[in-house]
Amino acid sequence: MRTRDLFFGPEKLRAVWRLLLFSVITVWTLVALGIAASLVLARVRLTGQLWELAIPSGITVAALLFSSWVMLRWVERRRFAALGFPLGREAWWGLLRGAAIGGGFMAALVASQVAIGWLKLEAEAGTLTGWLESIGSLALLLAVAATGEELLFRGYAFQVLVESTGAPLAVILSSAAFGALHIFNPEVGLVALLNIGLAGVIMATAYLRTRSLWTAIGVHWAWNWMMSAVFDLPVSGIDFDVPGFGTAIVGPEPFTGGAFGPEGSVLTTVLSVPLIVWLLRTRWLAESQRMVELRPLIDSRVGARRQPKFNPEGEPR
């Protein structure tokens, strides 16, 4: 076996080396940005729960965007948008479509718990201004956090896995890792970890059906924002305490999720399965012609339409 064959396949660098290179670039970028942020924060003191969460999330997003751009541009020889970020109307449509899925699911879940009597909606102390500021801040924070986690678990590394191993195994591995990321969250339990893994399957399926990370980000963002801002429930064990409105948990913990929030409920487990089946079958989700033209890495592995021919710059011939 030639030395070159250890590193290169028939067309390009083998998947294991691409994943290793992507990881190294990401880690070094995280370190560099972390040091820079520390120097800035030593002079500018920012306090509060939202800042404590927003700063590391923002650093993570920046590092993953940079490492993904390097891999797409210099290794894959594709435009950055091929990662799943078409611009213009498709970006807004992807976000809205994903938000309808994630927000709709969480609204149906909480409405079911309220109807059964496990949750009780009630007014709390607070002003309209305070409520608007709170839900607006949460919208921005959760958008950054959702973008970071989607880049990490449905972005470049996931797409290389799908390209090299096929979609089923890649979805299982990425969703298991997504669940494991939350293992140290407050009040976490086995049902909660299972449900977060299922949420990973939902977001991966949304991506695979559309090849749009905008759609997966929309699902993720609306899922969390609906829990925190609209219903004032904990998100993966973190309580953001929105003023002016609240939801009292009065039912049994296995069915409400208790202090972990709805993601710890067995009802979430039950409702996630038909949602995944629907996502796999619905004609409402499909890869756009624009995404076909951008040449996402996994077109040929999950039943996409035949790719058009391209020159090395990524333009159709």
Mean pLDDT by 10 residues, the chain (317 residues): 72 91 98 93 73 88 98 95 95 97 97 95 85 92 96 97 94 97 95 98 97 98 96 93 88 95 97 97 93 84 43 45
Return the structure tokens found at 73.
């541009």
Q: What is the pLDDT of residue 303?
A: 40
Element (H, E) at 141: helix 128-153
- The CB-side HSE value for 270 (13 A sphere, CA atoms) comes to 11
- What is the token pair recorded at 148? 């970071």
The residues spanned by each domain of the chain are: 3-301
For residue 7, what pLDDT is reported?
A: 76
Residues 221 and 143 sit within 8 Å (Cβ to Cβ): yes
Between CA 262 and CA 258 the distance in angstroms is 8
Residues in the chain: 317
How far lies 51's CA from each of 41, 45, 155, 261, in Å? 11, 10, 25, 22
Q: Which amino acid is at 19?
A: L
Q: In this structure, are residues 71 and 22 in contact, taking their beta carbons and an 8 Å threshold?
A: yes
- Specify the pLDDT at position 313: 47
Q: How many whole angstroms from its chain centre is CA 116?
A: 30
Write the CB contacts of 171 (distance below 8 Å, at least 6 apart in sequence): 162, 200, 201, 204, 205, 208
Both tokens assigned to 307: 């790719």
307, with CB counted inside 10 A (0-12, 13-18, 19+), is middle
Could you tell me if 65 and 149 are in contact, meaning their C-beta atoms sit under 8 angstroms apart?
no
d(CA 142, CA 148): 10
Q: What is the pTM of this model?
A: 0.91
What's the confidence (pLDDT) of residue 302? Answer: 56
By the 8 A CB rule, do 156 and 67 touch? yes
- In this structure, are residues 86 and 291 in contact, taking their beta carbons and an 8 Å threshold? yes
Q: How far apart are CA 60 and CA 48, in angstroms?
A: 19
pLDDT at 53: 80
Q: What is the pLDDT of residue 262?
A: 96
The separation between CA 218 and the C-alpha centre of its own chain, rounded to angstroms, equals: 8
154 within 8 A of 168, measured Cβ to Cβ: no
